[in-house]
Structure formats: C-alpha cells, structure tokens
Amino acid sequence: MLNAVLILEDGKVFRGTGFGARGTVFGEVVFNTGMTGYQEVLTDPSYAGQIVTMTYPLIGNYGTNRADQESRGPQVRGFVVREACTKPNNWRHEQTIHDYLAKHNIVGISQVDTRALTRHIRSKGTLRGAISTEQDVVSNPEKLLPQVKELVTNSPELVRSVTTGRVYRLEGTGPRVVVMDFGIKQNILRMLQAQNWDVVVVPSHTAAEEILSFNPRGVFLSNGPGDPKDVPEAIATVKKLIGRLPLTGICLGHQIIGLALGCETFKLKFGHRGSNHPVKDLARDRTFITSQNHGYAIDGSSLPAGVAVTHKNLNDGTVEGLRVKDQPIFSVQYHPEAAPGPEDSRYLFDEFTQMMM
C-alpha cells in the first residue's frame, strides 16, 4: 500500500492510498455519479485530460474486461475512488481495477472522502488538480501548486488526441452516413450498425469537400472532450454542410452544430456526468433518464430564428436538444446510446434514419 495525495488548485488536499500506476498526473478534476459503468467511464474519450472522481463508494467490484471498453483503453488522466475493490466477483471479470489501471499507466487514488471532494467541486466549480504517489510530494503536496495553477485544461489537441487517424468504413445495407469522429464511443458505432447504416468514419478535421466526396445521405457528429470552440475547423465544416444534407450530433457534436447555427456555448459550473440525469422531450411531453458527460452547454438565450429547443435538463433547465425548423437537422446533448438501464432514447437513431430516406 502506497500513500498518495490529491491537491486542487485552491490548495485543498485529499490524502489516500495509491492504486494502479505510480507517479504524478495533472488534469481537470470532475465527478461522475454513476453507480456502475466505471470501465465505460475510464475509456470514454470525452474524459481526455480529466481526473475523474466516482461518487459511488465501491468501484471495481465486478472487475474489468475487454468487451466493456468504449475505446482502445483508458482516456482519463487519473482516477479517484473511495474504495477500490481488490477481489471482484463476476463471471466476465478479467482484471482487477488496480491491474487494469497499472497496465495502462493510469494513476489512481483510493480511500479518499469522495463525498467531501464532490461537495467541494459543486461549491467551488470544476478545479484543476494533481494526483501523486511520489513520497516527497505526498509529504509536501503544495510543491505541485504552481504546476496545477498553470495547467491548461482545454486545447484543440484534446480532440486530436482521441480522433481516428484514418478514414475507415463499417459496411451496411442502409443509407451511407459519414461520422465525424471527435472521440467516438464504441457503443455509438454499434448503434449505427444496428441501424444498418453504411458508415464511413473520418477524422475530426476532415473538410466538407472530402465528406461530400463519399456521397453520404447524412452526417453524424460524435461526442468528444473539451470546449467546442477549440475545434473551429469542425464548426466551419458544419457551416458548409448545412442545407446540403441531414445532420445530427451527440454531446460535443451537438454543441458544434449549435455553434455552426449561430448559437453560443458556456462552461457549466461542474458539468453533467452520470447516468441518471432527467431530460424532458418537449415535443413528446416525456421525461427520459439519460447518461451524460459534458462540461459545456448551449446558451438557450442565444438561439437564432428557426432553431428550437427540443429537450431540457430537468435538474438545471439547460438545453439538451436542438432542431432546425424546415431543415433536417437535430442534435442532443446527452448520450442516447449509453442505455443507463432504459433504452428509450434510441428512437433518435430511428428519427435520423427517417430524415435520410
């Protein structure tokens, strides 16, 4: 057992025990309220650059396996838990959470009062921080403060680090869809294949002319990390595509569509990250329990004429969906593919299929 420390940019220190890899890591400290799905959280590219705190007190109780990864491996900078289970019990278990993080060189800290840490973030807002298992730092964590305070948490390089490096195709018998990959989750690709779409996945910085050269029936913008304003080339691409073919997006893709339409975005105080966020579909007058992972949102007061809000977050009233009147364009902030228990939101994939017919 190795002593470890988490220090935040305001000087707040949380002590605990290291697990996973050893060393020092820096990132934006956020929290996720999901009770399960910790491996999906670890491997979600939208968490690139972040130190993730799990609010549920026991993490790792069903182990880890290759099937539950949302990308090639963990994308988080660091991992904070109350208790890291050392003896998981599940028939699908392949590795403990400790061994999994150690294999992928991710530093974790356990035995942290995650309830106090979460309350602190909710009060102060998202903070930069560092985790260290280096014993000279553990005895004097303040020595990391200058580096923590200088940390740049958003950058165009975040998306570049998680997007695909090549164009590839997932063949289907349905309409061809070009997917702009800003850090796409594997389950989104599985949902697209379930629709029988003929999917062509392209890097985040692909130009509109190249996208159109694939003769798609529609364009899908994926989730991804960071501030949507950090990918201006994607916003410019979407502007060129508007009016030429159907568009839809999830999470970061939703925000990029919003910016291309003329909306504004803003940073949330502590973001929405978890699997139990209530969202109301205004057209259907129905509420859905959704999975979410984002730190930015569309400013509802900035919508231009012809753009309407379709979904609202019932916790704080923020915009969760947009639709363009008289054009085949819509997007949602939450993750309809994540299925946090119910699978009700999969109708959105059906809607986009109908738009392309």
The CATH number of whichever domain residue 285 belongs to comes to 3.40.50.880
| 0.75 surpassed by pTM | yes
Q: Which of 115, 130, 152 is the last residue of a domain?
A: 152
Q: Annotated catalytic, 337?
A: yes
- Count of domains in the chain? 2
Mean pLDDT of the chain: 96
220 shares its domain with 262: yes
67: which DSSP letter?
G
- One-letter amino acid at 68 equals D
296 shares its domain with 209: yes
User: CA of 127: how far to CAs of 30, 108, 121, in Å?
Assistant: 8, 17, 7
Helix (H) / strand (E) element for 321: namely: strand 319-324
Helix or strand or coil: residue 123? Answer: helix
102 shares its domain with 207: no
List, in order, residues 6 or more apart from 19 with CB less than 8 Å away.
84, 97, 98, 101, 102, 108, 109, 110
Q: Are 251 and 260 in contact (CB under 8 A)?
A: no
CA separation for the pair 294, 50 (Å, rounded): 11
CA 133, 139, 143, 148 torsion: positive or negative? positive
170 shares its domain with 293: yes
180 shares its domain with 115: no
User: CA of 55: how far to CAs of 81, 120, 282, in Å?
Assistant: 7, 12, 30
The proportion of the chain whose per-residue pLDDT surpasses 90, expressed as a percent, equals 95
287 closest CA partner among 349, 334, 355? 334
Instruction: Give me the CATH number covering residue 83.
Output: 3.50.30.20
40 shares its domain with 131: yes
201 shares its domain with 55: no
Q: Annotated catalytic, 272?
A: no
- Which tens digit of pLDDT belongs to each residue from 75-129? 999 999 999 999 999 999 999 999 999 999 999 999 999 999 999 999 999 999 9
71 shares its domain with 174: no
53 shares its domain with 182: no
Q: Which of 112, 131, 152 is the last residue of a domain?
A: 152
Q: Which of 134, 152, 170 is the last residue of a domain?
A: 152
At 357 the pLDDT is 85
Q: Which one of the listed residues 251, 263, 272, 277 is annotated catalytic?
A: 251
- Which tens digit of pLDDT belongs to each residue from 248-271? 999 999 999 999 999 999 999 999
Q: Annotated catalytic, 157?
A: no
Query: Residue 6: which domain range?
Result: 2-152
143 shares its domain with 269: no
3-state helix, strand, coil in the chain (%, to 5): 30, 35, 35
114 shares its domain with 207: no
Mean pLDDT of 305-315: 98
Nearest-10 crossing angle of helices 186-194, 347-356: 60
End-to-end, the C-alpha distance of the chain in Å comes to 59
Q: Which two tokens stand for residue 216?
A: 């798609």
